């Protein structure tokens, strides 16, 4: 089965939650973290327990590399071990690495994140240096082994500085989305979507309908739900027949044990409860 069809089916059967393992060491309960000899070991074990508690209630996982790089070598080891554990569990994994370079450098990024110690299913790409930044990843995508999500309409406050500029009567983000869509058409799976998808924030409410109309064959990675202000109604507007996207949440899940709603639960039990709450919240609008 093609990778994008696996993800589509996973959304159909498990809902839209993409669990973001953006694990800041400070998120770990103090009594838990104290039991390990290094921060990297503690982060990995925290991730492992979260994964074991949520595998059956999420569509996929997104691991943001910056949180691991911040811990140095031990953090990168925790990153690699987390990815290895997810692969061993058969999970669909997105590495949030936002690569955006050209020529041989981009080729090496593809090798680094599509194989070896850091191997994942999807990676995030930044195409704002031009579409040539996408080209080195396409051979991996062509045979359906791997996928990518290109930044198109992000949710950060400063996105409009560049993405909101008007080009040929449409915004730069819409122009970039059209170019990604044109490339993606060649790789469409049986589900009607391409493994070359787009990152579109669910706080872009004024653009949502227009983006989905223009990017019919694009599967979305949708950030900004929850802590960043996005709501389930905003997410649903990006979907088609209840599918076509996964919705990332990190802090709300990793820190769920601090919520009064889950008082008394362990951090992994609370993470599972928040995944279920989020899943059902989105599904009611689909």
Distances from the Cα of 228 to the Cα of 40, 166, 197, 223, angstroms: 27, 26, 22, 8
Q: What is the tally of helices (H) and strands (E) in the chain?
A: 12, 10
Question: What is the H or E stretch that residue 272 is in?
Answer: helix 267-283
Q: Choose, from 98, 142, 146, 258, the residue flagged as catalytic.
A: 98
Contact criterion met (CB below 8 Å) for 250 and 17: no
Give the number of C-alpha atoms closer than 13 A to the C-alpha of residue 45, restricted to the C-beta side. Answer: 13
How many C-beta neighbours within 10 Å does residue 277 have?
17
Taking a C-beta distance cutoff of 8 angstroms, is the pair 69, 24 a contact? no
Q: At what angle do helices 39-54 and 73-88 cross, to 10 degrees?
A: 20
Q: Is 98 labeled as catalytic in the residue annotation? A: yes
Q: Which residues does the annotation mark as catalytic? A: 98
């Amino acid at each position: 089965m093609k990778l994008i069809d696996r993800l589509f089916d996973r959304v159909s059967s498990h809902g839209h939650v993409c669990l973001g393992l953006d694990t800041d060491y400070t998120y770990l309960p103090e009594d838990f973290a104290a039991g390990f000899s290094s921060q990297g070991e503690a982060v990995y074990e925290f991730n492992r327990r979260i994964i074991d508690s949520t595998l059956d209630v999420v569509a996929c996982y997104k691991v943001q590399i910056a949180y691991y790089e911040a811990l140095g070598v031990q953090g990168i080891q925790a990153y690699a071990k987390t990815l290895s554990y997810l692969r061993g569990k058969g999970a669909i994994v997105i590495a949030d690495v936002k690569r955006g370079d050209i020529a041989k450098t981009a080729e090496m990024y593809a090798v680094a994140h599509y194989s070896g110690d850091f191997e994942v299913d999807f990676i995030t790409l930044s195409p704002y240096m031009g579409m040539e930044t996408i080209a080195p990843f396409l051979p991996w995508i062509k045979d359906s082994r791997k996928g990518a999500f290109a930044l198109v309409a992000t949710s950060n406050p400063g996105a409009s500085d560049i993405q909101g500029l008007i080009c040929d009567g449409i915004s730069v983000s819409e122009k970039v989305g059209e170019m990604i869509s044109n490339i993606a058409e060649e790789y469409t799976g049986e589900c009607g979507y391409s493994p070359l998808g787009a990152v579109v924030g669910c706080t872009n409410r004024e653009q949502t309908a227009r983006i989905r109309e223009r990017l019919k064959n694009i599967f979305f990675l949708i950030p900004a739900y929850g802590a960043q202000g996005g709501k389930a109604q905003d997410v649903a507007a990006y979907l088609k027949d209840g599918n076509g996207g996964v919705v990332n949440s990190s802090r709300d899940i990793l820190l769920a044990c601090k919520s009064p709603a889950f008082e008394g639960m362990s951090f992994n039990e609370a993470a599972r409860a928040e995944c279920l709450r989020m899943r059902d919240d989105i599904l009611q609008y689909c």
